[in-house]
Amino acid sequence: MRQFLKQALATLIGSFAGLVLFSIVGTGSLFLLFVIIGTRDQQPQVESDSVLVFDLSKSIQDTQPPLNITQALFAPEERPVTVQQVVNSIEKASEDDRISGILLDGTEGSNTTDYAILQEIREALVEFQESGKEVIAYDTNLNQREYYLASVADNVILNPLGNLEIRGLRSEQTFFAGAFEQYGIGIDTVRVGDYKSAIEPLIREDLSPENEEQLTALLGDIWGEWLEDVSTQRDISVDELQNIVDTQGILLAENALEAGLVDEVAYRDEVISQLKEISETEDDDDFPNISLASYSGVTQREAMEDTSDNEIAVLHAQGAIVGGEAPLDSIGSSRYAQKIRNLRENDDVKAVVLRINSPGGGATASDVILRELKLTQEEKPVIVSMGDTAASGAYWVSLGGDKIFAQPTTVTGSIGVFGILPNIQELANENGITWDEVATGELAGLDSISRAKSEEELAILQGTVDQIYDRFIDRVADNRDLSPEEVEEIAQGRVWSGKQAQEVGLVDELGGLNSALAQAAETAELEDWQVQEYPRLSGFEERFLRRFQEDARVLLGQETPIDERLKRFQNSWEEFKVMNDPNHAYARLPFEFHID
């Protein structure tokens, strides 16, 4: 007994000492972290005749993802930047006497930004050139996304051992029907729209003729924009470009130079010499420069000094549309309905621009958000700016705008509805699992995954989907000045490019977020205004502490790199898990939709 008490006392004292030590170390560590944070808040300075360095490898998104502790403390430059930060920085740089030119630097890695966002940035670079300042692009290995931007440059330079890769676009879909059959997973589906392809990966082993038709047209439009823009800037015919794509695909530096796709073959030190001439510096080692990410912080601080009583609110909506609050990387109907109400009731907000980038989601959630936008529309202008994707449920939401803006390469439309009803009856039975039930109604098991649906149950669910599709048609007809018959002709779940969507009446104007802002100011009759983006990010310390536990786990056990395809599967599964429409009716694109 005495020995037991000794051990127990020793354990208690040791635990207490460990707790005290952990508290001291933990508090000291947090103090150190916040000291580092404080030093990060110091704004960089812009030297005279600086070159603005745009790292083409940086991820560019509509909104910044939740803060990552590693990036915040040790690598803030690695954080993604938003398209508006990039566009605004380029626009400010054209008027900033401290900026002598722009370097498009692709040497740090590959670009994976969506084409509609690249199109907005490209337009900003073209306008920058009109200021008379020079744009230089340099890379070792240019992919076609990077080259889409680089082709704007006054001088496109490629490393002597580098290459230019332009192979055209492709969209590959993974199909699971065979795997489901092999493992005994049943899938019942209901849908409206011959082109509504979201359910195809679950029930087919290849593309349907309708899906192949719409994807061919969509990729053709996006690729056509790429060809036209590059052709105009590089003074090479579209036919010549397409021939290079079809017969060469990957061009070594000298071949790219000979084809007129680049202007010069040179090493980095030779490029730096050119940049020194632009910045008129005599420094032997380097030239005055500032990264676009840092310059964005400078311009934001300076913009705060120019205030106006008139505010145009830009409400960013990115991710799948789901009911309720939903995760931060989704568009939760309750959360966004409240945000829209707050903007409607804010007298300082004179107009609202909804910037939406979403594949769609729940029909009910989409209609909840649309209702709040329509109520807001009665009190102040609402303009919609579509990002890379604003299809199906996202198009449903977009109907709340006085005008809809899209880029020619935006993916939109997909006016259709579907429902997915999985069951594991065969899988369970083969492993000795069975079910039995009692019920007070014939339809009590409508939500059950223990068996396939009966014909009567499928008929009821199909009827629900049909009614919701009819409401979707009516919403489009009422808000787009089209008859239901005209909408039906362009609906059926078919996706359209922004260019096609304007032609068939689903979109009003082609243009990016700045075009939408200009329209909002004009509609609200504002002579001066300031832009405020929503959702507003909370203070750094609050976000830091909110994510500390999650990020500490990552720091203690670093994750290994995940193959891109596995990431897509994981993202698709995460989106599938939050499908929560009360009617099991969804208006969205396929879970794995990507253009390479």
Q: Kindly indicate the confidence band of residue 7, based on its pLDDT and cuts at 50, 70 and 90.
A: low
Question: What is the extent of the structural domain holding 483?
Answer: 308-414+465-570
205 phi/psi in degrees, rounded to 5 = -115, 0
Cα–Cα distance measured from residue 63 to residue 79, given in angstroms and rounded to the nearest whole number: 11
- Residue 387 sits in the same domain as residue 284: no
pLDDT(542) > 50: no
The DSSP output letter for 348 is: T
The DSSP output letter for 527 is: S
Q: Is 356 helix (H, G, I), strand (E, B) or coil?
A: strand
Q: Write the pLDDT tens digit of every residue in 334-375.
A: 999 999 999 999 999 999 999 999 999 999 999 999 999 999
- Residue 473 sits in the same domain as residue 331: yes
pLDDT(197) > 80: yes
Q: Write the pLDDT tens digit of every residue in 411-446.
A: 999 999 988 888 888 888 988 999 888 989 888 888
Cα–Cα distance measured from residue 218 to residue 590, given in angstroms and rounded to the nearest whole number: 15
Q: Which of 259, 276, 300 is where one domain is finished?
A: 300
Q: Residue 565: its pLDDT value, please?
A: 46
Cα–Cα distance measured from residue 590 to residue 18, given in angstroms and rounded to the nearest whole number: 52
**Weakest mean pLDDT among 115-119, 140-144, 569-573:** 569-573
Q: Which residues contact 538 (CB under 8 A, 6 or more apart)?
A: none
Is the CB of residue 516 less than 8 Å from the CB of residue 383? yes
Q: Where are the beta strands (DSSP E) in 166-263?
A: 186-192, 250-252
Number of domains the chain contains: 2
Q: Residue 301: its pLDDT value, please?
A: 58
- Residue 159 sits in the same domain as residue 288: yes
**Weakest mean pLDDT among 145-154, 477-486, 572-581:** 572-581
- The percentage of residues in the chain with a pLDDT greater than 70, rounded to a whole number, is 79
Residue 342: give its domain's CATH number: 3.90.226.10
- Residue 381 sits in the same domain as residue 257: no
Q: Write the pLDDT tens digit of every residue in 149-166.
A: 999 999 999 999 999 999
- Residue 288 sits in the same domain as residue 313: no
Q: Residue 352: its pLDDT value, please?
A: 98
Determine, yes or no, domain membership for 421.
no
Determine, yes or no, domain membership for 551.
yes
For residues 89-93, give the mean pLDDT. Answer: 93
Q: Is 1 helix (H, G, I), strand (E, B) or coil?
A: coil
- Residue 94 sits in the same domain as residue 147: yes
Determine, yes or no, domain membership for 319.
yes
For residues 463-487, give the mean pLDDT. Answer: 95
Report the C-alpha dihedral over residues 408, 412, 413, 417, rounded to 10 degrees: 170
Sort residue 326 into left (φ over 0), alpha (ψ -120 to 50) or beta: left
Cα–Cα distance measured from residue 475 to residue 487, given in angstroms and rounded to the nearest whole number: 10
DSSP 274-307: HHHHHHT---SS---EEEHHHHHHHHHHHHTTS-
Show which residues are catalytic. Answer: 196, 392
Report the C-alpha dihedral over residues 39, 43, 47, 49, rounded to 10 degrees: 130
User: In the chain, what's the furthest Cα-to-Cα distance?
Assistant: 94
187 phi/psi in degrees, rounded to 5 = -130, 115
Q: Which amino acid is at 557?
A: G
The DSSP output letter for 77 is: G
pLDDT(240) > 80: yes
Q: Where are the beta strands (DSSP E) in 23-165?
A: 50-55, 60-61, 81-82, 99-105, 134-142, 155-165
- Residue 77 sits in the same domain as residue 101: yes
Of the candidates 391, 398, 402, 324, the residue with the CA atom closest to the CA atom of residue 361: 391
Q: Residue 41: its pLDDT value, please?
A: 47
Q: Which amino acid is at 85?
A: Q
- Residue 113 sits in the same domain as residue 160: yes
Cα–Cα distance measured from residue 152 to residue 213, given in angstroms and rounded to the nearest whole number: 32
Cα–Cα distance measured from residue 527 to residue 334, given in angstroms and rounded to the nearest whole number: 34
Cα–Cα distance measured from residue 453 to residue 362, given in angstroms and rounded to the nearest whole number: 21
| Structural element, H or E, at residue 89 | helix 83-95
Q: Kindly indicate the confidence band of residue 488, based on its pLDDT and cuts at 50, 70 and 90.
A: very high
Cα–Cα distance measured from residue 205 to residue 176, given in angstroms and rounded to the nearest whole number: 7
- Residue listed under structure tokens 């359209």: 496
Determine, yes or no, domain membership for 482.
yes
179 phi/psi in degrees, rounded to 5 = -65, -40
Q: Is 558 helix (H, G, I), strand (E, B) or coil?
A: coil
Q: Write the pLDDT tens digit of every residue in 330-343.
A: 899 999 999 999 99
- Residue 110 sits in the same domain as residue 144: yes
Determine, yes or no, domain membership for 7.
no
Determine, yes or no, domain membership for 577.
no
Q: Is 114 helix (H, G, I), strand (E, B) or coil?
A: coil
- The percentage of residues in the chain with a pLDDT greater than 90, rounded to a whole number, is 59
Q: Kindly indicate the confidence band of residue 596, based on its pLDDT and cuts at 50, 70 and 90.
A: low
- Residue 257 sits in the same domain as residue 141: yes
Determine, yes or no, domain membership for 216.
no
Q: Which residues contact 577 (CB under 8 A, 6 or more apart)?
A: none
For residues 396-400, give the mean pLDDT. Answer: 97
Q: Which of 300, 328, 361 is where one domain is finished?
A: 300
Q: Residue 149: its pLDDT value, please?
A: 95
String of b and e for 149-181 (b: at least 16 CB within 10 Å)? bbbbbebbbbbeebbbbbeeeebebebbbeebe
pLDDT(206) > 80: yes
Q: Write the pLDDT tens digit of every residue in 273-318.
A: 989 888 887 766 678 999 998 898 776 656 555 578 899 999 999 9
Q: Write the pLDDT tens digit of every residue in 26-75.
A: 444 444 444 444 444 455 688 888 999 999 988 888 887 655 454 444 44
Determine, yes or no, domain membership for 594.
no
Cα–Cα distance measured from residue 103 to residue 460, given in angstroms and rounded to the nearest whole number: 60
- Residue 73 sits in the same domain as residue 137: yes
Q: Is 39 helix (H, G, I), strand (E, B) or coil?
A: helix
| Structural element, H or E, at residue 390 | strand 382-391
**CA 61, 96, 109: angle at the middle one, nearest 5?**
35
Residue 338: both structure tokens together: 């409240």
- Residue 257 sits in the same domain as residue 351: no
Residue with more model confidence, 587 or 77: 587
